[in-house]
A and B are shown apart, each in its own frame.
Chain A
């Protein structure tokens, strides 16, 4: 199965510059580990960073070369068996089936992934039963969703494993999980969802699904 939906180029640029906010960067890193095309883009973008560093005026050093230790070989990224993208494994382990899901209301289970204290966004895995429709909602900041299992559709199309839905502030959608498997996604949101119906907003308060 090939990946058809990629993050916006300007977001990849931000990622290669190392200037993407943490939660969104986590989704990007997970997508990049699955997507050859985006890895190729990223390699080009890194040459831009390198050229710009060339243009920065040099700072003078106050000391010489430090002690060169012949220390251990650098460690490789997590590899081996598992259906969780490498970037996430140290937080959620290698298998989606072992994630400690919590009920979140609306037929949704979620698992929050801790971020550093400075992060202003949230990062979580969500699991939605096949065919379930999430309430119509908008976003108060950027939201990026990577499909890890199953698929979902909304007014912008269909998203399968490896695809990224890259939503900007103000975009609205009502995703429906595809039939077959549960749909499991990694979601980074800069602000809470804004449900369009009053009933959904009341439920949102009760369940804490934001």
Chain B
């Protein structure tokens, strides 16, 4: 069963087996994501549980037009992380509140499957020059701001910004998005 089928099963029938499958796949990754942000093992596990519990509760809100299941789970985990680990005000509450057109609409060549898109992104990430890959990871996985990345790497903030911008432009090209 694909991830989006599992979600559908959960949404329609509260299928616990389908949920278990998603849990086993994603909870360990979300836990380690939280640990990268400085959560201790217990807190990280709690946050992983909470992320997957949100998947259970919000399954009916997921729509494959809005991106892959992994992306959806990433956004839930990211929001929980901001809320709990940084104790900051939650400003970016994107996954549920935003309307459907937020998706990558207007993609006529929908023949590219989720799986292909995922593989393309992996390849593109690994093809980035090391210095660009590094700042992208520090931003997404370690949750560091541009200033914090600059301090950690001993670089000017402007250099960090331009590396992130360059990396993004390359990654965006691989998913076929065009500049307007």
Contacts and interface: CB of A to CB of B under 8 A. Distances in A.
B61 to A, nearest CB: 7
Interface residues of B, number: 85
Q: For this complex, into which size category does the number of interface residues on chain A fall?
A: 35 or more
Nearest to B95: A46
A20 B145 contact: yes
B104 A116 contact: no
Given A18-B78, A18-B79, A48 B118 contact: no
B127 interface: no
B79 A51 contact: no
A77 B177 contact: no
Contacts of B8: none
Interface stretch (A34-42, A104-112, A131-139, A151-159): A34-42
A53 interface: yes
A87 B98 CA distance: 11
Contacts of A181: none
Contacts of A199: none
A26 B68 CA distance: 26
A62 B45 contact: yes
A54 B70 contact: yes
B121 A51 contact: yes
Contacts of B177: 40, 44
A63 to B, nearest CB: 7
A164 to B, nearest CB: 14
B116 to A, nearest CB: 12
Contact of B136 (A8, A25, A52, A117): A52
B172 A71 contact: no
Interface of B: 14, 16, 19-20, 23, 27-33, 35-36, 41, 44-45, 48-49, 52-54, 56-58, 61, 66-68, 70-71, 73-75, 77-79, 81-82, 86-89, 91-94, 96-98, 101-105, 117-118, 121-122, 125, 136-137, 139-148, 157-158, 161-162, 164-165, 168-169, 171-172, 175, 177, 180
18 contacts: A10-B146, A10-B162, A13-B165, A14-B139, A19-B148, A22-B88, A26-B91, A32-B94, A39-B101, A39-B102, A43-B66, A46-B67, A47-B175, A58-B28, A61-B28, A65-B19, A74-B58, A87-B91
Given A74-B58, A116-B88, 14 more contacts: A13-B139, A13-B164, A17-B139, A20-B92, A37-B180, A48-B171, A49-B75, A54-B70, A61-B45, A66-B53, A69-B53, A74-B96, A118-B86, A168-B161
